[in-house]
Amino acid sequence: MKAVGLVVEYNPFHNGHLYHAQTAKRQTGCDTAVAVMSGHFLQRGEPAVVSKWARTKMALQSGVDLVVELPYLYAVQKAEIFARGSVSTLNNLGCEALFFGSENGQIEPFLESAKIMDEHKDSFDQCIKEELKKGASYPSAAAIAFNSILHTENGLDMSKPNNILGYHYVKSILSGGYDMKPYTTARISSDYHDADLPDEDRHIASATSIRKALIEKPFDDCVPFLPKAAARELADYRKTFGLWHTPESYFSYLKYSLSTLTALELQQIYEVEEGLENRILRSIRKASSYQEFMEFLKTKRYTWTRLQRMNIHILTRTKKQEIHRLINDEEVPYIRLLGMTKKGQAFLSKKKKALSVPLVSKLSSFSHPALDLDIKASRIYSLAIEEPLRTEFDIQEYGHAPIRYDEDEHRFLSI
């Protein structure tokens, strides 16, 4: 059995993701799709609109064979660390290929760029430092440094979010010496940041526009852009828990958290740079919503995404010392299994003896400081849910066994 790895968030799973999974198998010649998926908080510092369990169910019914969780340690991070954790996980599982969507759509520029940048790492780092001193944000500084080093028109626009991630996937494969071949395909129909749903006849919309529509429009407006299974799981989640998880869902908890922290304590939180703690404390006192807080907080130097990630770390009280201690390892500390089809189970049975890190099926069977972060993040995520469902959600999270799906009979064997 040959497997292709996918790095995903599925927030939520939509027709573009369905196309991505199908194309990954077809273009790589693999018969098994393995997804490493962010948990309850995501790379851009946002809560997932529905739980990781609901998103796992969507994926298993839509052509993905195995879903494992990307630990919080890597999931709520800048692109380089996010990619390193994702690629390490997929390599550990024995994936022969990595398939990702990009604005570029051709793999050669990614391979060429990664090799050139590796040869000029010192110059790249120096250029970034110079641009940061001028007041540029890190992504802007990195894009300038990248273009200054390459000195070639290879068509890889490093201002585009999926190109940035793709570059770091390829870089992680090469630097890790992994026996994994990277593939890419061009994103179709909708841009990553498109905020509005397109015409129904296009069938593919950005996840951003779908999330916006879930909040602002009738649910039926989103249905044309979702596989049937995803639409069903989303409707069931909303019916059960009565909400979509959004940054605003956690504003009161963020405000409470900041009300209990001194400036000195805030300095110890991961992603809080020196001097930013005072701006945070001033801004939270004036803000009456998450959106307003972010607008008060935003500066030219710090991107919206960077600040959102910082806010998640404040919510979870994740400290710099904690992350720095855990992130030094080149390999992920464990692999947590979220769900599998029959094919995925057969693939895992063949590969699990060769795993170099523990495979975690239940939280009660394993302990690790990085897993403690995952548990804490899930508890924070559940705060948006009203009691008694919140307590039930927490209990299920701790005792939840991997979801098993029979793709032949189109039914769940365990949920």
**Binding-site residues from annotation for ATP:** 7-20, 101, 162, 187-188
CB atoms within 10 A of CB 214: 19
| Length of the chain, in residues | 415
Q: What is the dihedral of CA 292, 297, 301, 305, to 10 degrees?
A: -60
CB atoms within 10 A of CB 392: 13
Q: Is the dihedral of CA 129, 134, 140, 145 positive or negative?
A: negative
Beta carbons within 8 Å of 164's beta carbon, 6+ residues apart: 79, 139, 142, 158
Question: Annotated binding residues, as ranges?
Answer: 7-20, 101, 162, 187-188
Helix or strand run (H / E) with residue 60: helix 52-60
369-387 per-residue burial string, b: 16 or more CB within 10 A, e: under 16: ebbebbeebbbbbbbbbee
Radius of gyration of the chain (CA): 21
Residue found by looking up tokens 């927030």 in the block:
11
